[in-house]
Amino acid sequence: MTAIDRSAIHGSRRVVVKVGSSSISGDAAHRIDTIVEAIARAHERGTEIVLVSSGAIATAIPFLDLGGRPNDLATQQAAAAVGQNVLMWRYQTSLDRFRILAGQVLLTAGDLENTTHRSNARRAMERLLGLRILPIVNENDTVATHEIRFGDNDRLAALVAQLIGADALVLLSDIDTLYTKPPSEPGAEPIRHVAYGDDLGGFEFGSVVVNSVGTGGAATKVSAARLATAAGIGVLVTSADLVDAALSGDDIGTWFAPNPEPAAAPVTGPVRTVGEAVAADRLGA
């Protein structure tokens, strides 16, 4: 059931959690444990979680002796290929404590707009969740570079949330809540609740200002929240350190209330079982 307020995240059936590179790489790599512990608790309660995680490039930097983030796209992609492997290993090592298996899912936003790819991705994710496996999604940087260029796995997370019919989307950031202005400026107010259909002009203004002082990410979070809420999925934006409180439904962060009357989901055709798909492939369907 769609979470109509943040407290309902606790009892949700299915939640997408998205975390960005800076929260889980370099000196912050220890936070993988914090995130995994919160996910394991929710998993134990019966909530199905899908984790959308960036961080492949950032994780690779020390392994490739790059001395910093590479500037050219090909090296960034190569770094992502190396770092994705290490990142998954770190997640799995942490998940081992709870006997949870991770499944790597590399997607592009374009995949989710293509009917066949979308249906394939949905079937695979449904099966992973049915097997109680934690799907960990990142952009497939070998064939798509949207996130590398725009730093925007938030959008992919919103699309994944729609794909699997999530009840809520939790976007983790480095700030505990969105603010009307940069938090350091006088008069900055936390934005606690955004009703569906609220005029987002003010928030866009806030986002641009926040970005210009380098707190970053607010603009893509607001636009991902617009995408998800339009589809009837409530969105919580808060800091990665508060992930356990977020999944427990605590009164934290910025809550974007979902559209109470979302349009019907786009027609993507029925999800075939693996057996049906194999049979169809044999027949060339």
Least distance to ligand GLU, CB of residue 264, Å: 31
Single residue of 3, 9, 15, 21 touching ligand GLU by CB under 6 A: 21
User: Among 9, 56, 158, 159, which residue interacts with ligand GLU (rule: CB under 6 A)?
Assistant: 56
Q: How many CA atoms lie within 13 A of 124 on its CB side?
A: 15
Q: Which is nearer to ligand GLU, 36 or 245 (CB)?
A: 36
In the stretch 112-141, what mask flags binding to ligand GLU with x, by CB under 6 A?
--------------------------xx-x
Min CB(21)–ligand GLU separation in Å? 5
> How far apart, in whole angstroms, are the C-alpha atoms of residue 37 and residue 33?
6
Start-to-end Cα distance in the chain: 34
114 is in an annotated binding site: no
Residues 35-54, interacting with ligand GLU (CB under 6 A): 54
Strand partners, 109: none
18 is known to lie in a ligand binding site: yes
User: Is 153 within any annotated ligand binding site?
Assistant: yes
User: How far is the CA of 220 from the CAs of 61, 178, 197, 277, 278, in angstroms?
Assistant: 25, 12, 18, 36, 38
Minimum distance from CB of 153 to ligand GLU (Å)? Answer: 6
- Are 141 and 107 in contact by the 8 Å Cβ rule? The answer is no
119 is in an annotated binding site: no
Could you say whether residue 151 binds ligand GLU (CB under 6 A)? yes
| 57 binds ligand GLU per the rule CB under 6 A | yes
For the chain, the farthest-separated pair of C-alpha atoms sits apart, in whole angstroms, at 66
- Options 48, 111, 147, 167; binder of ligand GLU; rule CB under 6 A: 147
> Is 173 labelled a binding residue?
yes
- Contacting positions for ligand GLU (CB under 6 A): 21, 54-58, 80, 138-139, 141, 147-148, 151
